Structure formats: C-alpha cells, structure tokens
Amino acid sequence: MTVMTGDESRWSVGYGTFVVKAWHCTMYRSACDWRSETMLVNNGGRIMDWIQNRSELEAHGPSATITISKNPEATLTMKSRSLGEVRWKRFVSNNVVTRGQMRPSWSTAWVSVRSCGSGDGPGSYGYVSEKCAYAGAA
C-alpha cells in the first residue's frame, strides 16, 4: 500500500466548482506513485466542452534525474533530465485523471507534482483559466 500526500485547489465558476488535485507518495525506495486530477463538480448536469490537466513531475536534488510513466491517453514531454510534463485533454467530459510512477535517481532529495487544470465551459459560460495545486516540499 502506498501512502500519498497531496493538495487541492477549488474555485467557483458560473456553473459549478472547478477542482484540481495533486498527489505523490510520501516515501519510496525506487519508485513513487503519482496522481493528478482536474474536475468540474456541483455542475447541475452540465458537461464541459473540454477539460485538461497539465502536470509537472520533478526530482529535486544535486544531479537528480527522473523517469516517468503515465496512463496511455496522456502525453509526456521531458523538459529536462529532472522535469517532465504530462498533459491530457478530454472533450465533452467533466474530469481528467492522470497517474503513473516516478523513478527518481539516487541523488534525488525529494519529488514534487504540480497539477494544473483548465477547461472550456458549455455555451456562454466560457473558458476556465489554468489553476494549480502542488504536492512536494516547499
């Protein structure tokens, strides 16, 4: 069983509450589970035209590197040897959940997950700008 730690951000939009969550494992030996979510709740049955999650997964420390796995629907772009970005955009949906494992190098002091969500609401409700939640050492 993996123990996870995380954070979430919530804000009201004209048709519900937008929620972004970030989690990662609290302790690891060679791999650390991670999870990010973006969702619309309390929406009165309305469906988003599209909803997106963009997650930055990072290994911190001297000469730290990281290998990242993710669910098949998402895309992974390595920004550097210690920072990867996982992105998934879904159409006609109210949630995006991405998850996988981080495998940091031995020189890693800690890992972090920054989960950011955005979307476009139905009809005249409009665009929901990106908001983020962060799980990791400050």
Provide the domain count of the chain: 1
Structure tokens at 95: 């949630």
**Global pTM value:** 0.90
Q: How far apart, in Å, do the first and last CA atoms of the chain sit?
A: 25
Express as a percent the part of the chain with pLDDT over 90: 70
Beta-bridge partners for 39: 19, 95
Q: Read off the pLDDT of residues 34-91 as tens digits, 9 standing for 90 and up.
A: 999 999 998 888 889 999 999 999 999 999 999 999 999 999 999 999 999 999 999 9
Which sign does the torsion angle of CA 83, 55, 69, 5 carry? positive
d(CA 82, CA 104): 8
Domain with 121, as residue range(s), is 4-135
The domain that holds 99 is classified in CATH as 2.60.40
